[in-house]
Structure 1
Amino acid sequence: MSCERLSLTRVLFALAGTMTLLAVVLAVTVSPWFLLLGVFVAVNQWLFALVGACPASIILGRTPCFSREVTR
């Protein structure tokens, strides 16, 4: 997939969904403490919704695919 088809928001949603699924699978199979990973993902989603930036958006915003998009 080329960079032109990706938007930062879509990549962040995909990353958050993947991490949430991973947290649930690890909590069921390994330890319930992995649910804290899901809490961390949720806090970062709220941070992005309220402020317009989260650690993942700042890091991804510095990559060549997303450097031309405006991020805070």
Structure 2
Amino acid sequence: MQMNTERWVRVIAGFFVLASVMLGTPASPVFVSEWFLAFTLFVGFNLLQSGFTSICPLDRILLKLGVPGSGGCGR
């Protein structure tokens, strides 16, 4: 199965959320700063707005990098 932009957006957003929660939660063994939780908020906001507007910045970046489109996000 070939990865299209929609699948890449989900994978990248999921990775960023998990990484920023691990880096921003004081109980985590890899804690750096609580400010990493602001990045989690940023990713969540972008996912929410793309659900309502169908405008996904990461989708457009991936298309310019040559990743096959899915016909969904932003079209």
Query: Fold match, TM over 0.5?
Result: yes
Structure having the higher helix fraction is 1
TM-score scaled by length of structure 2:
0.77
Q: Tell which has more relative contact order, 1 or 2 (C-alpha 8 A, sep 6+).
A: 2
Q: Which runs of 5+ in 1 are unaligned?
A: none
Q: Which residue of 1 aligns with 2:45?
A: 43
Once the two structures are TM-superposed, the CA of residue 65 in structure 1 deviates from its matched residue by: 2.3
| Contact 2:50–2:56 (8 Å) recurs in 1 | yes
Q: Count how many residue pairs are aligned between Structure 1 and Structure 2.
A: 68
| Contact 2:46–2:56 (8 Å) recurs in 1 | yes
Q: Which runs of 5+ in 2 are unaligned?
A: 26-30
Superposed structure 1 runs of 4+ greater than 2 Å apart? 68-72
Deviations 1:1-49 (A, max 9, x none): xxx6112111100000000011111102011111000000001101221
**Aligned-residue CA RMSD in angstroms?**
1.7
Percent of residue pairs bearing the same amino acid type: 28
